Amino acid sequence: MAPPTSAHPTMPAAALAEEQARLPAALAEEQARLAAAREALARMLDTARLRVATGASVAGDRYTAETLGRMLKSHVKELTEEPDGPLYFGRLWFGASPAAGEHRDERYYLGRRHITDESGQPIVIDWRAPVSRAFYRASTRDPLGVRERRRYGWTGRHPAELTGFEDERLDGGTSVDVASRLVAAEIERPRIGPMRDIVATIQPEQDDLVRADLDRSVCVQGGPGSGKTAVGLHRAAYLLYTHRRQMKRGGVLVVGPNPAFLRYISAVLPALGEVDALQQTLAELVGGHPVGATDSEAAATVKHDPRMAGVLHRALYQRIGEPTGPLVVPDGSYRWRLPVEWLRRIVTQVRAEAPPYAIGRERLRSRVVGLLQRRAEGRAETPGGAWLRRMARCRPVTAFLDEVWPATRPEELLALLFGDPTVLARASAGVLDAEEQAVLRWQGRPRTARTAAWTAADRVLLDEVAGLLDHPAGHRHIVVDEAQDLSPMQCRAIARRSRHGSLTVLGDLAQGTTPWAASDWPDQLAHLGQPAATVVPLTAGFRVPAVVLELANRLLPELGVRVAPTRSVRTDGTLRVRAVPDLATATTEAVGAALGLAGSIGVIAADTRLPRLTEALRSAGIAVADPDADDEGVRVTALPASLAKGLEYDHVIVVEPAEIVEAEPRGPHRLYVVLTRAVSRLDVLHQRALPPALRG
Ligand SMILES: Nc1ncnc2c1ncn2[C@@H]1O[C@H](COP(=O)(O)OP(=O)(O)OP(=O)(O)O)[C@@H](O)[C@H]1O
């Protein structure tokens, strides 16, 4: 183990000398501790493996055996993933003040999960345990009973070795908190591969969000690189740990903007020991048919408008008819007769109860059967279960339901709405004007529910109708990333799935790039079904260096949203803006130079330019990863501007900003996203004039 780094950066000389003298002893202690922790983990692993081997035979039935087997296997997998990784990142040493409470004079090592010794005594405590909170929250101003906080540095190699530690004395009575070098190094560490967790360096304002109550919905408005995604994922891990039992039903769902983003974040939750959280794009969430057609801009705009919810609701409920005559049901030698007024009354009752449509139909069926039963009882008969079931399924009752409350599928309803102008006009009267109705109508060849090719927006509408027919299965908690980009109708798809749950909504109004992007949070939160969620701003930027952020922030005034500019916590990093004679050549040279430094490299250009650049790079012999493929180990990724959201690279090369702005109506927002992907270095290459805000 390398010698520990010195302690307090501002320590007076005498104290420093004393500290240096203490180091060898502290070092030996740390080494012994690490060895014990490794041994304990190895033992836990052996026990878990043994359980996998015997689990199936000791479990009573096949289902239990399978569940147990799966659980144990995932436990083994979790443990195996880190036997020689950094086992802990910090230590809390409580003092003797009353604030220390039951932890008086105790020392706790904090890591990604619990490690216990043979007798079950904790050696490492999970970062999510209540006592760990003080690690993130304690300060010299409010030490929370903590005497000293220690942070460990580890090598990135396997087995990970301790490279040093850093102590902060918190109960010294001074009121200055000194920035930690280890925290700064962690934040500035080059990025390679997928996103990683931040358990060692969660900041107090992030911790507040991570540990918010399960039932509290929060919305995080945070600038680029302020840690929104990190906070959302750590909150998911925290909730799964703290409310294990409640989370069993429905669990946690993380919704992200596209598959490339989900791949990028996919390793974080498993690294935190959580393998069961579902991670989906919105398209996967609404599921259903493959997208087989594209909407015009005008049609997409209407289809994503919240008024469509009312139109679909009306279209569906306009299918319900008035009973027009009595219902006669033959039953052996009898014919039961239900008068039309009775039928009208039960239809009105069920409508007023407003159940989901498909449930309403079944409820009406059982009310009809109830009336038939009354009739039978009037004849001194006591009908049994078999009779009731027969009545419920008999042809006249079903025919009555088909006429008055017809069964329907989402595809049928939408085909009816888009295919039949009269149905559309009736459902949207007073809501959509003639022009809006016209863009919704299918043109050309008649289509049916079977032959229709559905668009991406149609799938959201089909999901809305499915939600009117019956409630979808919900989740206990949903983390929604890039939430500013969701249309009201997409928001409703999420709201439907969290009717009995809570949300963590993450987004940045300045990064809204869809035609329906939100311009304020209250409306968006109302569409998401959580109008009372609190909006919490995060304004410290952990990704983008100050020089780079300063350039990107110049675009803010023209983005038409009111958000606070992000302030970078990073003073490192470089920015180079260069006019070049040939973009492909300059890009190849810039990538060549970047390959000489550590970390990942992202080349970002307007979608239409990118293929040419990729080709130029490949013909220069540079391996280039495709964001849609799993090209692990390839350092250079060519990324269309439209896919850059949420991702980050150590070195970013942005090619021809003017083209990125011109490529779409919300081009300036897109450029803002693109310029804020760099962790350490940003090169901006341009042949044409830069957009005005970036000049000068
Ligand atoms: N407390 C922290 N300590 C260390 N690194 C952090 C911390 N918070 C965030 N980061 C890092 O900063 C980077 C940006 O975080 P993240 O992607 O969560 O930000 P974001 O707000 O979602 O950004 P964007 O809006 O641009 O997608 C990540 O590499 C993340 O690991």
Q: What is the pLDDT of residues 229-248, one digit of tens each?
A: 999 999 999 999 999 888 87
The answer to whether the CB of 648 is under 6 A from ligand 1 is yes
In this structure, the chain runs to a length of 696
Q: Which helix (H) or strand (E) holds 504?
A: strand 502-507
**Quick one: average pLDDT of 50-71?**
59
Q: How far is the CA of 542 from the centre of ligand 1 (A)?
A: 6
Q: How far is the CA of 227 from the centre of ligand 1 (A)?
A: 3
Q: Using CA positions, which residue lies closest to atom 16 of ligand 1?
A: 227
Q: What is the pLDDT of residues 511-528, one digit of tens each?
A: 999 999 999 999 999 999
pLDDT of residue 64: 56
Q: What is the residue whose two structure tokens read 């239409």?
A: 608
Rounded to 5 degrees, φ, ψ at 201 are -135, 20
Spatial contact of 603 and 685, defined as CB atoms under 8 Å apart: no
CA angle 506, 659, 573 (to 5 degrees): 60
pLDDT of residue 372: 95
The answer to whether the CB of 657 is under 6 A from ligand 1 is no
Give the atom of ligand 1 at the shortest distance from the alpha carbon of 226.
21
**Quick one: average pLDDT of 84-94?**
86
Mean pLDDT check: name the lowest of 419-433, 443-457, 565-579: 443-457
Annotated binding residues, as ranges?
A: 222-229
The answer to whether the CB of 226 is under 6 A from ligand 1 is yes
pLDDT of residue 266: 84
Q: How far is the CA of 225 from the centre of ligand 1 (A)?
A: 5
pLDDT band per the 50, 70, 90 thresholds, residue 1: very low
CA angle 368, 373, 378 (to 5 degrees): 130
How far is residue 99's CA from residue 110's CA, in Å, rounded to a whole number? 20
Q: Of residues 315 and 15, which shows the higher confidence score?
A: 315
pLDDT over 60 at 191, yes or no: yes
pLDDT of residue 4: 42
Annotated binding residues for ATP, as ranges?
A: 222-229
Distances (CA, A) of 249 to 244, 256, 277, 476, 635: 10, 21, 12, 7, 40
Spatial contact of 87 and 124, defined as CB atoms under 8 Å apart: yes
Mean pLDDT of the chain: 88
Give the atom of ligand 1 at the shortest distance from the alpha carbon of 191.
29
pLDDT of residue 174: 58
Q: Using CA positions, which residue lies closest to atom 13 of ligand 1?
A: 543
Q: How far is the CA of 673 from the centre of ligand 1 (A)?
A: 14
The answer to whether the CB of 187 is under 6 A from ligand 1 is yes
The answer to whether the CB of 510 is under 6 A from ligand 1 is no
Q: Which tokens in the block code for residue 608?
A: 């239409």
Q: Using CA positions, which residue lies closest to atom 23 of ligand 1?
A: 225
**Quick one: average pLDDT of 18-43?**
76
Q: Using CA positions, which residue lies closest to atom 25 of ligand 1?
A: 224
Give the atom of ligand 1 at the shortest distance from the alpha carbon of 203.
1
Give the atom of ligand 1 at the shortest distance from the alpha carbon of 646.
27
The answer to whether the CB of 232 is under 6 A from ligand 1 is no
Rounded to 5 degrees, φ, ψ at 312 are -65, -40
pLDDT band per the 50, 70, 90 thresholds, residue 6: very low
Strand partners for 125? 110
**Quick one: average pLDDT of 285-297?**
88
Q: Which helix (H) or strand (E) holds 575?
A: strand 574-579
Q: How far is the CA of 132 from the centre of ligand 1 (A)?
A: 21
Give the atom of ligand 1 at the shortest distance from the alpha carbon of 511.
25
Residues 6 or more apart whose CB falls under 8 angstroms from that of 194 comprise 263, 264, 265, 266, 267, 268
